[in-house]
Structure 1
């Protein structure tokens, strides 16, 4: 095969150009020690580097999320711990006020300090972070979680939403603690009440407290189904308990209903999970204790649901709801919205009751007409005052079944009890002690719930630490993998560069020699 001189020159120049470009590329690689500068250098390796880069960015973001979550949880834990410390002081005050030497003046002083503690706890519950977001409002971070109602009770305004952040592939953790979880689900140990039914005028000889729930499981399983109960005193040493159907259930009471008249103060009667304090106050003139005590009777039942009603800001009338109560238990149980309701007037006398919130698809659960100044809907009667309602007026109704109670309300009840005079009255003193015992039980319950919230924070903190260590290992492995794909071996690069440069020099020398060869050189 013949190769023309022109072809030879073209082929040699092209080959030399390719080798020269390779040498230039290798020289650049030797300078940067980076093997892949563009996808053309290694398409497969470039694809792997892209994926590893995305993983590295995600790991960096996970690290930022972990740091911010740790900071948020630390602030929440500190705040909850401070609330627990304040409640411990409240408990100490209640115990001090309950001793036999405290006077009305002493109790008023204790009430004043307890009021300061209540405001301190309220402030801590409404704490904000450095960005101005409320800690315990759930997702409603611009809304104060707790506000005081007109009747002195407190309402939770937040929600139950947990705000989650990703801290690893497929792993999220809640960055917040809601007030619902930390404060609103505190078991109310004082959710039963007693009412004297005989004698018509209380003679003060028998004082039976409202009771506290000592064993929730027994209370839930047995107490609710048999109420209301009747507690009858057959003598100064024996009581009888009958359920709503008239069945004698005294056998389920402590000591089968046997009580003492020798030491009648602060006896405990336990029945179906409820502990009641009993005081027998015999007088020196009571020569026949059995005759004096026999005939006293009380009803015992769970505290009925109560309601908090507030006007809508857009109401055009001055009408207000002054009171509310369940008047038809069956209708209330079957129809009243458990998540809150809205009473909306369609005229001065006609109204509808809706489940909150009202939407375009909402239908009323009950409707009616005002009668005698009362609006009755879904088994609840609302007393109206302050003027005649106008069409379009709305009232937000929240029900309270008293199964739970936030600690702000507990402290408020204790303050009320401390301010009530009881010097010189054995009955008033016994009622006061019953209120303090109920308050102490609820403070313990609140402290337990706060402790559970702190435990949850600790568990999440441990998960953050574990995931942080995992992410660090993944980050190191990612860096190593990227380096192995992208970075060059200095010795290999220098060897290759030297070889390529030598080949270029040899090619130049060979071309120079061959180009001098010709037929005329041989003549």
Structure 2
């Protein structure tokens, strides 16, 4: 076979260029020890590297989120721990105020310290983070979470939304603890009330406390279904309790409703999750079996209360001055739970909406103002002044199921500020108020402890997930390295072989080039 000179030179040049390119590429690989620089180097490997790179970026973001959460949880836990310490001091003051040797002045001094504790709690519960956002306001970081109402009670202005960040492929974690969760949902142990119905003129021989909820389960499952109850004295040592249907349920009371009028310890009655304290105040010459029968009380849960607040932009100066449930059936059937908005369409006509009011909200009921009273969904509101069209009022509903810890401290302070002047009845009311305050402080502390435990649990889960993410980071880096990086020994061996081949091709070209006919002339 004959090979032309042109073909020889073309073939030799192509072979030389191929070997030279291989040497250059291997030299660069030996220098960088990177095997895959472009998809052309290894299409499958490059695709896998792209996936691993995306995973690495997500792992970096998870680590950044974990660092953020760790910081916010630490801040929240520190503030809540301080609040818990303050509440412990409030409990100590409440216990000491029950000392029989305390005078009115001593209790008022204690109340003064409780007032300072109240202000300290309000300040702590409105704490901000390093970014100037309120810690316990939920997603409304720019809104002051807790404010004092005109009547001395407190309102929560935040929401119940947690701000979640991803810390794993299938795991998110809340960065915050809402004030609703930590401070608003403490069980109110003083949510029952007693009203004397007979005799018509109170002779002060019998005082029955409003009661303390000792078992939330029994209270909700049994007490609420039978209220209101009638508690009557049938003898000097026996109570009779009947439910709303007239059924005798005395057997469910401790000691079957029996009490000892001569013993303070024997004047406590427990009934369907509520502890009631009797205070028998017999006068000289009284015979218990003669003077106690005929005393009757009504026992029931505290009725829901409402706080109406006018919107700042209202055209008129009309105010809601009072409210009460006038139709229990309508109230339970349609009144919005939590909060509502009353919006006037004229001076007398209005609509009631579930809060928050949005552009597509539908009214749950409508009505008109009659003689200064607006009735909506079974609740009557007293209106002072003449409303105007577009007036709006926010209606907060208090079911007394739970209570803000600020309200608990405030109520205890007011109890201690009320002088007894040595009056037996006033002292009994003081003791009942102290029992109520201690119960609600304990409930608030339990709720706060639960919130602190939640933070600790999230912190523990965060550490576990961070360790998992770190393991994934190491595995990702090793896998990328195995695909992308070169084996130094293999690269150097290949480079040496390619250099030898390049030299051989150069030598072969020079030798064969000398075989031309012109070299024989």
Post-superposition CA distance 1:464-520 (Å, at most 9, x none): 111111111111111111111111122221222122112111211111111111346
Report deviation, 1:289: 2.6
User: Is 2:515 aligned against 1:517?
Assistant: yes
Matches within 5 A, 1:254-403: 254-264=254-264, 267-283=267-283, 285-385=284-384, 387-403=385-401
Partner of 2:17: 17
Q: Which residue of 2 aligns with 1:119?
A: 119
Partner SS, residue 370 of structure 1:
strand
In structure 2, the partner of 1:210 is 210
Written as runs of structure 1 = structure 2, the 5 A alignment for 1:73-152 is: 73-152=73-152
Retained in 2: the 8 A contact 1:265–1:280? no
Q: Is the 8 A contact 1:264 1:281 kept in 2?
A: no
CA distance in structure 2 between the aligned counterparts of 1:357 and 1:34, rounded to whole angstroms: 60
Q: Distance in 2 between matches of 1:171 and 1:338?
A: 32
Separation (CA, whole Å) in 2 of partners of 1:265 and 1:326: 38
Deviation at 1:108, TM superposition (A): 0.8
- The Cα of 1:118 is off from its aligned counterpart by 1.2
Aligned residue runs from structure 1 range 451-466, under 5 A: 451-466=449-464
Deviation at 1:206, TM superposition (A): 1.0
Q: CA deviation at 1:6?
A: 0.9
TM-aligned CA deviation for residue 321 of structure 1: 0.7
Cα deviations across residues 367-419 of structure 1 (Å, max 9, x unaligned)?
2222222111111111112x221122111101111111111111111111111
Query: What does residue range 465-480 of structure 1 map to in structure 2 within 5 Å?
Result: 465-480=463-478
What secondary structure is seen at the aligned counterpart in 2 of 1:39?
A: coil
8 Å contact from structure 1 (residues 326, 381) kept in 2: yes
Quote the Cα distance in structure 2 between the aligned partners of 1:477 and 1:402: 55
Taking only aligned residues, the RMSD between alpha carbons, in angstroms, comes to 1.5
CA drift at 1:363: 2.9
Q: Does the 8 A contact of 2:261 with 2:267 survive in 1?
A: no
Deviates more, 1:339-348 or 1:397-406: 339-348
Partner of 1:53: 53
1:234 to partner: Cα distance: 2.0
- 1:522 Cα offset (Å): 6.2
Change (3 A) 1:56 1:79: same
Q: CA deviation at 1:360?
A: 3.0
Deviates more, 1:265-274 or 1:208-217: 265-274
Distance 1:347 1:362 in 2: 19
> Contact conserved, 1:286 with 1:292, CA < 8 A, in 2?
no
TM-score by length of 1: 0.97
> Quick check: 236-245 or 461-470, which moved more?
236-245
- 1:182 aligns with 182
Residues 338 and 398, structure 2, Cα contact 8 Å, conserved in 1: no
Aligned-partner Cα distance in 1 for 2:187–2:172: 29
Please, which runs of 5 or more residues in structure 2 have no aligned partner? none
Out of 57-66 and 241-250, give the one that drifted further. 241-250
Gaps in structure 1 of 5+ consecutive residues? none
In structure 1, what is the Cα distance between the partners aligned to 2:487 and 2:306?
77
Distance 1:266 1:61, change over 3 A: farther
Instruction: Check whether the contact 1:137–1:179 (CA below 8 A) recurs between aligned residues.
Output: yes
| 1:166 counterpart residue number | 166
Find the residue that maps to 2:350 and give its secondary structure. Answer: strand
From the superposition, tell whether residues 318 and 96 of structure 1 become closer, same or farther in structure 2 (CA, over 3 Å). Answer: same
CA contact (8 A) 2:38 2:46 kept: yes
Judge conservation of contact 2:213–2:275 (CA < 8 Å) in 1. yes
Counterparts of residues 234-273 of structure 1 (less than 5 Å):
234-264=234-264, 267-273=267-273
Which residue number corresponds to residue 487 of structure 2?
489
